[in-house]
Amino acid sequence: MILGTETTPSLPNLLSLDALSLSNLIQTRQVKCVDLMNQTLTRINDINDPNQQQQQQQYLNAIVSMKSKQELMNEAYLADEDLDNGIGKGWLHGIPLAIKDLSNVKGLPNTLGGSKLYSSLQQQQQHT
């Protein structure tokens, strides 16, 4: 079994809750981090992937780079494991976050928010 693939069946839509409510549910172990990550990834796929679009939804391409589903689910599993062992890392522990590609993140490209600027900077860096 892949870490983080076991989820709780028939959960409400966690994505309709605010961050403080999610944090409380996670900290009190009423919701597992893997369940929240699974719903998050499903929603991203529904609105971000033009191949998965339903006729009534619009393609957004809001998230241009992210780790693999397996990696993200493993991270959520480890976040659950930490909480089960009494290790909390703050109120955002276990809540998925998207980092804008203006910030440097290990393992993800930094496009500086746009392909023209990114291409321009890449060319400048190659010539220096």
Low-confidence ranges of the chain (pLDDT < 50): 1-2, 4-5, 119-124, 126-128
pLDDT of residue 87: 96
pLDDT of residue 127: 45
pLDDT of residue 9: 56
What is the pTM assigned to this prediction?
0.74
pLDDT of residue 126: 47
- Amino acid 104 reads N
CA distance 38 to 13: 11
Q: Which residues, in sequence order, are CB contacts of 59 under 8 Å at separation 6+?
A: 47, 48, 49, 50, 53
pLDDT of residue 72: 96
